Structure 1
Amino acid sequence: MSTTKKILVGEDSSVIINLTKSVLAFENYEMKAARNGKQVLELLEKENFDLILMDISMPIMDGASCTQAIRKLDDPKKSKLPIIAISGNVNNYTMDEFRKFGFDDFIQKPLDFDKVLATVKKHLS
């Protein structure tokens, strides 16, 4: 029996958090949400996760800065977590730029939840 995968979602929109939670629960993923990059780092310090979905545009600390901070963590497991960017401004960045920030993949808003699940499964398998 496989253990439940834990996903951390960095997102400042309650609507997207709730929709994402519903979709991930359908696949038996456990989800925690943080409303900004600083909260993402605080949760990551206390708990282990299998993957992070990270909004690019958040208050206090944006997703790119947070991802760069995660990549510099001393814990090798946490610093190498798959991190998927979520952005409505995907056209402002190339995949190379996303990779330079430290992201493994990206999903464009408005979110297509079939794509969210497919991308999450791809990085967790």
Structure 2
Amino acid sequence: MSASQRVLVVDDDLLNQEVISEFLAIGDYTIDLADDGQQAVEMVESNDYDLVLMDIMMPHMDGIEATTKIRVLADPSKAKTPVIAITARNPDTDQAIWFAIGVNDFVGKPFSEEEFIQVVSPYI
């Protein structure tokens, strides 16, 4: 795990942002925070991220719409940034949609640090 890697955490819940940031702190990553999907798209357009951790249910623009917009960005390297969905939604009914729009993987809420690291570590 390299200190030079940059991760964007997108969640409208500050507690979730805190928990995810703490889990990532062990890897000494640069962590940026966004509160909604629109902010996430703008941040991905203007920064280089190694990974985006995207909540699905958010106000203004949800994670599905934000991921869809990221996947069609003009810069191909930004459009290919790995996106992991962080969600309390039922993966049995929704994961086909997530993968179809370009989500690389997902972590279901609530999750343990071990579960989180297991899903995230292949991407960073």
What's the CA shift for 1:92?
5.9
Q: Alignment length, in residue pairs?
A: 123
Q: TM-score, normalised by structure 1?
A: 0.91
Listed as ranges, the gaps of 5+ residues in structure 1 are none
Measured on the aligned residues, the alpha-carbon RMSD in Å equals 1.4
Shift of 1:93: 3.0
CA distance change for structure 1 residues 28 and 76 in 2, over 3 Å: closer, same or farther? same
What does residue 120 of structure 1 align with?
Answer: 120
The 4+ residue runs of structure 1 with deviation greater than 4 A are none
- Which residue in 1 is equivalent to 2:65? 65
- Equivalent in the alignment of 2:80: 80
Alignment check: 8 A CA contact 2:54 2:85 kept: yes
The one-letter code of the counterpart of 1:30 is: T
Q: CA deviation at 1:95?
A: 3.0
Q: What is the CA deviation profile of residues 28-79 of structure 1, one whole-angstrom value per residue up to 9, with x for unaligned ones?
A: 1221110000110111122110000000001100000000000001111110
Q: Which amino acid aligns with 2:65?
A: S
Match of 1:102 in 2: 102
Distance of aligned partners of 1:57 and 1:94 in 2 relative to their CA distance in 1, 3 Å threshold = closer
* Percent sequence identity over aligned pairs: 33
